[in-house]
Amino acid sequence: MARKGYRKPKAVIGDPTDPEGFGVWEPRFLEWLLVRNYSEATVRTRDEQLRLFFAWCEARSLTRPRDVTKPILESYQRYVYHLRQGSGRNRGKPLGFQAQMGRLVAVRVFFKWLTRENVLLWNPASELVLPKVQRQLPKYVLTAEEAEQVLAVPDTSQPLGVRDRALLEVLYSTGIRRMELLNLTIYDISEERGTMMVRRGKGGKDRVVPIGERAMMWVRRYVDEVREGLVVAPASEYLFLSHHGDRPASRYLTSLVREYVKASGVKKQGSCHLFRHTVATLMLENGADIRAIQELLGHRSLETTQIYTQVSILRLKAVHGATHPVTRELLRPLKKVDGVDEPAVTEQELRQELLSEQNAELVGG
């Protein structure tokens, strides 16, 4: 059995003695990415995705970049399309188009680099048509009551329970991503300003986000009462630490949050991103501006944020209830007039109210 923290050595790519093989050019490509300040996570992901492609090539006696043609890449694309996931809850299910896109983009970028470096005279991946990835609505979003149920699960009488409550509160208060949470340091939170610095988020961008008072209280308690007991030499600056004293692995955090969601009794599934969807949806329903949510979540494009306008349907329900010929009569409040129930709000008043709201939106927009 492998010891804790042991990492299996990476498999050798192709023939290491071949000066024109994949095993020679792939390390140079990864170095090129690092020199141009691509994040370590991006470089690691590119390495993993390319190794899957090289293994597929080796099984077909393709060991050099010059052996690869456009028809071969199209064959690999069909292979990826028919792949089935081999582990986890989705075992046996096909790869999602986002995962397929990741594998193909890595290959396309690699061959583009080879052409730029004059290793190849032409790029066989230049005309490779990538799959169309549709932006889907979040499958699950917590209500405010359900979010509170999840937050109440950690046993705060135990040190790790305090840590877990603090990190859940941070996720719920700020909507940051999993890796952004793991990369937080003790210097990134300003209690005086009530803000948190998110460093090197997606795309390598920094941003400052507000953090709520309750989340700040739990972080303060965790730092004062628990964190010092977890730190081991050399002292880590990361805010949230594992019981080994180092930064938790991303998979560990995913499993931790998922188990808390499951233990809460909420009939919804998800992990860290579930809180991100919840924050955006609840803020939008409570009147937050879509651009403010974009800034909070660190989205590059407003289109990414606008997906939550389709999840939040409170406004649509209100309009539907006030204007649909069936639900309008059922939802309008009643009042007693000479012992008879009559609508407390007339149809004309409802129309006038909606018209006023629409005019106000036009003026404000």
The answer, yes or no, to whether the previous bond of 234 is cis (omega within 30 of 0) is yes
The active-site residue, picked from 76, 172, 238, 308, is 308
Helices in 20-84 by DSSP H: which ranges?
A: 22-35, 40-58, 70-81
The active-site residue, picked from 221, 268, 273, 332, is 273
The active-site residue, picked from 103, 165, 276, 277, is 276
Asked if 324 is an active-site residue, the reply is: no
Task: Using CB atoms within 10 Å of the CB of residue 12, give its burial: 0 to 12 exposed, 13 to 18 middle, 19+ buried.
Answer: exposed
List of residues 6+ apart from 65 with CB closer than 8 A: 20, 22, 25, 111, 114, 119, 120
Asked if 76 is an active-site residue, the reply is: no
Extended beta strands in the chain, E state: 189-190, 195-198, 207-210, 334-337, 340-343
Please state the length of the chain. 365
Return d(Cα 327, Cα 117) in angstroms, integer: 66
Nearest to 180 by CA among 146, 209, 139, 215: 209
CB 311 within 8 A of CB 138: yes
Asked if 177 is an active-site residue, the reply is: yes
Asked if 273 is an active-site residue, the reply is: yes
Return d(Cα 308, Cα 206) in angstroms, integer: 23
Asked if 299 is an active-site residue, the reply is: yes
The active-site residue, picked from 64, 163, 178, 299, is 299
Q: Is the dihedral of CA 182, 185, 9, 114 positive or negative?
A: positive
The active-site residue, picked from 177, 178, 247, 277, is 177
* 189-190/195-198 β-pairing: antiparallel
Residue matched to tokens 């680099």: 113
The active-site residue, picked from 199, 200, 202, 221, is 202
Task: Using CB atoms within 10 Å of the CB of residue 52, give its burial: 0 to 12 exposed, 13 to 18 middle, 19+ buried.
Answer: middle
Q: How many helices (H) and strands (E) does the chain have?
A: 17, 5
The residues annotated as belonging to the active site are 177, 202, 273, 276, 299, 308
